[in-house]
Amino acid sequence: TPAGVKEGGSLFIMKRSLKVKAVEANLPEKIDVDITNLKVSQYMIVREITGDKDYKIMTHEGNVLVEVK
């Protein structure tokens, strides 16, 4: 649960799926992102997805994934 939600904000999921490019064996079933530190008026964009990736995210890097309002 994001910090901002614990403070009374609401979580808005803006994007539930991403376009990725990879060898079929490396296609992820899901991509987990850590949003626990998001406070009210903060958001996470595609470019902030981190970790070892055997795939390339094709969705525009500026797209908002989630937002706390």
- How far CA 45 is from CA of 24, 25, 58, in Å, comes to 25, 26, 13
pTM of the model: 0.86
Mean pLDDT over 4-31 rounds to: 94
What tokens appear for 58 in the block? 């094709």
pLDDT digits (tens, 9 = 90+) for 28-58: 889 999 999 999 999 999 999 987 778 999 9
7 pLDDT above the threshold of 90: yes
DSSP labels, 8-53: T--EEE--S---EE--GGG--S------TT--TT-EEEGGG--S--
